Amino acid sequence: DQQVKQNSPSLSVQEGRISILNCDYTNSMFDYFLWYKKYPAEGPTFLISISSIKDKNEDGRFTVFLNKSAKHLSLHIVPSQPGDSAVYFCAASGVYNFNKFYFGSGTKLNVKP
Amino acid sequence: GAGVSQSPSNKVTEKGKDVELRCDPISGHTALYWYRQSLGQGLEFLIYFQGNSAPDKSGLPSDRFSAERTGGSVSTLTIQRTQQEDSAVYLCASSKRGAGSDTQYFGPGTRLTVL
């Protein structure tokens, strides 16, 4: 049972434009959300996180938005750069089992020069 | 380097054989996680170690899977009597304390192929 879903397996964006990656979850007990970036042949690397007490967290070109009522989060990358081309995973953990993380299946972002 | 390392990077084995995958976490990190990523799927939690506490094995898919963490550092994931559906990339991650807000640092993974 996929508790975290990324319904778009791929996304193609022009350099300089905004990339929006989406993630939906089903478990209302999730209270901490993360985005990871993964290049080929490497492990995922942490990108940005958000706690359920917030609805937005920004770090440079990366902003994560959380809509708890819709059980939806999104990652915005502005402006997109070719080096952002990678697979992006969203992940979630819950207040009662904070060490267990549930990951989505990933969205492959291609930023075209 | 100071990152998480995993070995081997690739492992091809025959159905029915046992395999051992190794993870060296970042020095000083008390928490260690194993995940696997099957083709087209997200990362699937397998097992979590935190210090000297009993590990959380709730993600292990069958009793053919087991893991140890010796001396609070290196971990070995063992798969007995491998099946073709065990083919996946096995990822290890470590974090300082294992708290939900701790950043997990991932190794490059071991790609397991069961023929």
Closest CA to B45 of A72, A56, A93: A93
What pLDDT is recorded for position B98?
67
Which of A32, A45, A102 is opposite residue B106, by nearest beta carbon?
A45
CB atoms within 10 A of CB B55: 16
- Which residue on chain B is closest to A88 by alpha carbon? B42
Q: What is the CA radius of gyration of chain B?
A: 13
* Integer Cα distance of B51 and B29 in angstroms: 9
- CB distance A81 to A67 below 8 Å: no
In DSSP terms, A77 is beta-bridged to A19, A62
* Integer Cα distance of A34 and A18 in angstroms: 19
- Under an 8 A CB cutoff, do A105 and B109 touch? no
- Under an 8 A CB cutoff, do B42 and A46 touch? no
- Which residue on chain A is closest to B38 by alpha carbon? A105
- Under an 8 A CB cutoff, do A89 and B42 touch? yes
Q: Residue B77 corresponds to which amino acid?
A: L
Closest CA to A107 of A84, A82, A83, A90: A90
How many Cβ pairs within 8 Å bridge chains A and B?
63
Q: What pLDDT digit, counting tens, does each position of A13-61 carry?
A: 999 999 999 999 999 999 999 999 999 888 999 999 999 999 999 999 9
Both tokens of residue A103? 């990951």
Average pLDDT score over chain A:
93
pLDDT band at B96 (very low <50, low <70, confident <90, very high): confident
> What are phi and psi for residue B8, nearest 5 degrees?
-75, 170
Q: Residue B33 corresponds to which amino acid?
A: Y
CA distance A43 to chain B (A): 4
What pLDDT is recorded for position A1?
66
